[in-house]
Structure 1
Amino acid sequence: MDPSRARSHSLGQSEINWDRLDKTKFYVVGAGLFTGITVALYPVSVVKTRLQVASKDAIERNALSVVRNILKTEGIPGLYRGFGIVITGAIPARIIFLTSLETTKAATLKLTEQFNLSEPTQAAIANGVAGLTSSLLSQAVFVPLDVISQKLMVQGYSGNMRYSGGLDVARRILKSDGFRGLYRGFGLSIMTYSPSSAVWWASYGSSQRYIWRLLGYTADNKELAPKQWEIVLVQATGGIIAGATASFVTTPLDTIKTRRQVMEVEKRETTRQAIRKLIAEDGWKGLYRGLGPRFISMSAWGTSMILAYEYLKRLCAKD
């Protein structure tokens, strides 16, 4: 085994480097795979968003009541409000994200090799930097879609305006607020998603290494190969740990960002006013509105995504 392969093996029992992937197959198969996951988990995002923007007097104060009300008044389609907009922009956003994630991770691993760091620390740094960078780059595509889809998610709910579709939302935003309206909350999105991505990937990378060590797979024992079910179990556990960590750290920022993005121009609050209003209504726990659905969303999405992503990499490996 050559040194680079040995290093890759010791850093993670299922690590597949960027230069070993068939890029065309990776993007084509990946687009279909992640679209399927988005279809399955999108309703959780709708529920989370409605909880975060609910007024003080809203009847629905928990996730189950929101789901019941949506099904009662709108049926299954209500759980997919704004889905068309999200899925349209998801493919270019994911291409940007995944490409920058893998290339940045490979470059950072190379840079950190000169330092005498433990494998979990090196993995945390490389994955964290890669997650942060890829999120920053993909936000340029994602934020306008986020603004439009979230307005569709909460239309007619808790006093919010109704729209005839995504184009209607975009037209009204451009008319009332100009092009910058599509990037409302962009700073908060950067502050929310970029740290969230960094924390998620850093937690995922380092937790995997600790779990492999607990199972007896170390750099000194390269001949012991893990079984397929062990690889999947370790990756899934790492995804759950990463989702729990990232959701707890970043939910307050996500709540404030969501409320500002769906607010109409005449009702607009500053970030400080939004924080004060949440605390006045619910105390400090108001900043954690939607934590349950967000934890479920991040853990379910993160675990499903990472299992699909690691499977995709194995499927698209050149050798």
Structure 2
Amino acid sequence: MDSSPPAAQSINQREINWDKLDKTKFYVVGAGLFTGVTVALYPISVIKTRMQVASRDTMEKNAFSVARGLLRTDGVRGLYRGFGTVITGAIPGRIIFLTSLETTKVAAFRMIEPFNFSEPTQAAIANGFAGMSSSLLSQAVFVPLDVVSQKLMVQGYSGYARYNGGLDVARKVLKSDGIRGLYRGFGLSIVTYTPSSAVWWASYGSSQRYIWRLLGYGTDNEERVPSPWTIVLVQATGGFVAGAVASCITTPLDTIKTRLQVMGHEKRETARQVVKKLIVEDGWKGLYRGLGPRFVSMSAWGTSMILAYEYLKRLCAKDEGV
């Protein structure tokens, strides 16, 4: 990811690359920052998941009715079902993702430099490739977390089983399906999240540069230095655009993946059967169940995450590298 606008050298904005970061501080502070963002946005994931798995009989009109139902039956705790499992595994998953992202991005920029693409195109290619490869590696950690947390999110809802915590879910899945059960939907997760991550990071890198150009940086006014608030605003806008684009493109695959992961052993269906059932119940729009919460989640997460991440990189930059 890129914290510098076009013509970075001329406006004294320098890229904080992997070699300029204090790694220990980066991981420790980063774990705290991203835990905070996850706490704030986790309820949206619960609501989205419930909307995606609802049967025709239990389907609720909108996200607000799902939230009201959860609060009525379980209180605020209901909005955080499965959170303990997610937060426990998210830290190693994030470390894998961020390490791969930063190292791959630098290598990708160097590889495409001889082709003399425009800056937005370079950013889209390098960031997109880094996001794709990072997602591919981190899915080994995130898919089992998804399987366990999503079963907890929907327990007791629309006929789904109840569990006594994440360990109980893992034990029962292993008993019925073996290790393969914890990786149910792994192929679809790769197909969903790898392109989604590529689209997200490519959109962020390129949109940021387009915004800088629209603001007049890197054109005829190369001596102007953007204020810190301008930089934050551009980064936040880039994060929002990236989340919006990625959510619209990948929601159908996410809906199918979620349904496959939460179904019990006795209800096992193929991806094709899930698609047919969704279309029968709700037409083609059934594939976009939970789009509203997912759009909000990915856009809000994108904005929050990118601001936290850019701040983290500035905070963890080595003195000699800034």
TM-score above 0.5, yes or no: yes
Aligned to 1:272: 272
Q: Given the superposition, is the C-alpha separation of residues 82 and 232 from structure 1 closer, same or farther in structure 2, using an over 3 Å criterion?
A: same
Q: Given the superposition, is the C-alpha separation of residues 94 and 10 from structure 1 closer, same or farther in structure 2, using an over 3 Å criterion?
A: farther
Aligned to 2:173: 173
Aligned to 1:231: 231
What letter corresponds to residue 215 of structure 1 in structure 2?
L
- Distance in 1 (CA, whole Å) between partners of 2:108 and 2:246 is 21
Aligned to 1:28: 28
1:61-109 CA-to-partner distances (Å, cap 9, x unmatched) read: 3100000000000100000000000000010000000000000000000
Q: Given the superposition, is the C-alpha separation of residues 220 and 316 from structure 1 closer, same or farther in structure 2, using an over 3 Å criterion?
A: farther
Q: Does 1:72 align with 2:72?
A: yes
Shift of 1:59: 4.6
What letter corresponds to residue 176 of structure 1 in structure 2?
S
Shift of 1:195: 0.5
Shift of 1:268: 1.1
- Distance in 1 (CA, whole Å) between partners of 2:241 and 2:273 is 33
Alpha-carbon contact 1:8-1:17 (below 8 Å) kept = no
Aligned to 1:150: 150
Aligned to 1:115: 115
Aligned to 2:100: 100
Question: Structure 1 length as normaliser, TM-score?
Answer: 0.96
1:29-79 CA-to-partner distances (Å, cap 9, x unmatched) read: 100000011011000000000000000111523100000000000100000
Q: Given the superposition, is the C-alpha separation of residues 11 and 132 from structure 1 closer, same or farther in structure 2, using an over 3 Å criterion?
A: farther
What letter corresponds to residue 163 of structure 1 in structure 2?
Y
Alpha-carbon contact 1:204-1:238 (below 8 Å) kept = yes
What letter corresponds to residue 224 of structure 1 in structure 2?
R
Q: Given the superposition, is the C-alpha separation of residues 311 and 199 from structure 1 closer, same or farther in structure 2, using an over 3 Å criterion?
A: same
**Secondary structure of 1:317's match?**
coil
Aligned to 2:3: none
Aligned to 1:195: 195
Q: Given the superposition, is the C-alpha separation of residues 79 and 138 from structure 1 closer, same or farther in structure 2, using an over 3 Å criterion?
A: same
Shift of 1:223: 2.7
1:42-61 aligned within 5 A: 42-61=42-61
Alpha-carbon contact 2:104-2:130 (below 8 Å) kept = yes
Q: Given the superposition, is the C-alpha separation of residues 227 and 172 from structure 1 closer, same or farther in structure 2, using an over 3 Å criterion?
A: same
Alpha-carbon contact 1:97-1:135 (below 8 Å) kept = yes
Shift of 1:15: 3.2
1:223-302 aligned within 5 A: 223-302=223-302
**Secondary structure of 2:15's match?**
coil
- Distance in 2 (CA, whole Å) between partners of 1:238 and 1:156 is 39
- Distance in 2 (CA, whole Å) between partners of 1:27 and 1:295 is 28
Q: Does 1:308 align with 2:312?
A: no
Q: What stretches of structure 1 of length at least 5 have no aligned partner?
A: 1-5
- Distance in 2 (CA, whole Å) between partners of 1:193 and 1:11 is 35
Q: Given the superposition, is the C-alpha separation of residues 219 and 126 from structure 1 closer, same or farther in structure 2, using an over 3 Å criterion?
A: farther
1:2-17 aligned within 5 A: 9=9, 13=13, 15-17=15-17
Q: Given the superposition, is the C-alpha separation of residues 9 and 203 from structure 1 closer, same or farther in structure 2, using an over 3 Å criterion?
A: farther
What letter corresponds to residue 78 of structure 1 in structure 2?
G
Q: Please, which moves more after superposition, 6-15 or 192-201?
A: 6-15
Q: Given the superposition, is the C-alpha separation of residues 220 and 13 from structure 1 closer, same or farther in structure 2, using an over 3 Å criterion?
A: farther
Alpha-carbon contact 1:97-1:137 (below 8 Å) kept = yes
Q: Given the superposition, is the C-alpha separation of residues 313 and 219 from structure 1 closer, same or farther in structure 2, using an over 3 Å criterion?
A: farther
Shift of 1:13: 4.8
Q: What stretches of structure 2 of length at least 5 have no aligned partner?
A: 1-5
What letter corresponds to residue 304 of structure 2 in structure 1?
S
- Distance in 2 (CA, whole Å) between partners of 1:44 and 1:295 is 10
**Secondary structure of 1:114's match?**
helix
Percent of aligned pairs sharing the same letter: 78
Aligned to 1:3: none
Alpha-carbon contact 2:108-2:129 (below 8 Å) kept = yes
Shift of 1:20: 1.1
Matched pairs, number: 315
Alpha-carbon contact 2:12-2:225 (below 8 Å) kept = no
Shift of 1:19: 1.3
1:129-148 aligned within 5 A: 129-148=129-148
- Distance in 2 (CA, whole Å) between partners of 1:201 and 1:220 is 28
What letter corresponds to residue 308 of structure 2 in structure 1?
A
Q: Please, which moves more after superposition, 15-24 or 280-289?
A: 15-24
Alpha-carbon contact 1:150-1:262 (below 8 Å) kept = yes
Aligned to 1:84: 84
Q: Does 1:161 align with 2:122?
A: no
- Distance in 2 (CA, whole Å) between partners of 1:134 and 1:61 is 36
What letter corresponds to residue 202 of structure 2 in structure 1?
A
